Structure 1
């Protein structure tokens, strides 16, 4: 198993979508690549993300990038749907240079690559989100989500 951290706006929908993908064995809602965390739960500079453990013989980082592009507006900076701010930026983060190379290759192959606002960066840090955010849309399916319901269940 290998792990990448995928940011695609509000983590509730991203987790609901990613956990349905072939080869994905585990997901966890969290926050990546921030500058600090206070005791009150403020996550300075963090991107909402989903820790994604996957079987690379079933799904690749290139595949995961393709799936990410199904649920985001890749040209939007710090916004997905009605969610606005730096914590809603899009990106892929990893501790493995091979993952970053593969993600960058995916972006470089796109004819619109100069307009894409998706980060591909080494994982600097990660914080697991509170239990109330884990599998949130399973618990509260009518909560707001920027991803249409028909897209969330596309790979089930």
Structure 2
């Protein structure tokens, strides 16, 4: 059995790196969602004028890891209280958003936000947005952390702390080889 989750939590390189080591995650694709331009390029999305968010589409086995777990990890590994910003990445393309695939996911997103708010002193600004059209990012963005991220100083400053939060709070959800 497979299910799909679509999340935007800042730079898709960073978000993808968090989810790739989870037990039950079958695959991850980086891409663009939530905008108005058909077939946007990375350069166009970076301008902030297309309305798209950098996001990841997670294919997972719900019998191994649940959507609620994916959301809990989402809220623990990025700052859902900053509007249109994650660290030095600023603009609507870096917004915190959940794109539910059905009404059950929409309801769980609302519950997930309520559950996560207890961990944050500032209000969570994560939006729940319509699913819309998904555009896969260019090939060089896929599996970025595994391929070249450790040679990118920006990624080395941002991703390891996220992975540390993941290991600390969700060790029971990690694959044995993670």
TM-score of the aligned structures, taking structure 1 as reference length: 0.89
Q: Which residue of 2 aligns with 1:130?
A: 138
Q: Is the 1:13–1:152 Cα contact (8 Å) retained in structure 2?
A: no
Cα 1:35–1:24 shift into 2, 3 Å = same
- Using the TM superposition, give the Cα deviation of residue 151 of structure 1 relative to its aligned residue in structure 2, in angstroms: 3.2
Cα 1:93–1:81 shift into 2, 3 Å = same
- Using the TM superposition, give the Cα deviation of residue 66 of structure 1 relative to its aligned residue in structure 2, in angstroms: 0.8
Matching of residues 10-49 of structure 1 within 5 Å: 10-37=11-38, 42-43=44-45, 44-49=50-55
Q: Which residue of 1 aligns with 2:160?
A: 149
Q: Is the 2:32–2:137 Cα contact (8 Å) retained in structure 1?
A: yes
- Listed as ranges, the gaps of 5+ residues in structure 2 are 168-173
- Listed as ranges, the gaps of 5+ residues in structure 1 are none
Equivalents in 1 of 2:62, 2:108: separation in Å? 12
- Using the TM superposition, give the Cα deviation of residue 113 of structure 1 relative to its aligned residue in structure 2, in angstroms: 9.1
Q: Is the 1:7–1:47 Cα contact (8 Å) retained in structure 2?
A: yes
RMSD across aligned positions (CA): 2.1
User: Which runs of structure 1 show a deviation greater than 3 angstroms over 4 or more consecutive aligned residues?
Assistant: 37-41, 109-114
The structure where strand makes up a greater share of residues is 1
Cα 1:114–1:51 shift into 2, 3 Å = same
Q: Is the 2:7–2:55 Cα contact (8 Å) retained in structure 1?
A: yes
The structure where helix makes up a greater share of residues is 2
Q: Is the 1:78–1:85 Cα contact (8 Å) retained in structure 2?
A: yes
Q: Tell me the SS of whatever aligns to 2:26.
A: strand
Q: Which residue of 2 aligns with 1:51?
A: 57
Q: Is the 1:100–1:121 Cα contact (8 Å) retained in structure 2?
A: no
- Using the TM superposition, give the Cα deviation of residue 91 of structure 1 relative to its aligned residue in structure 2, in angstroms: 1.3
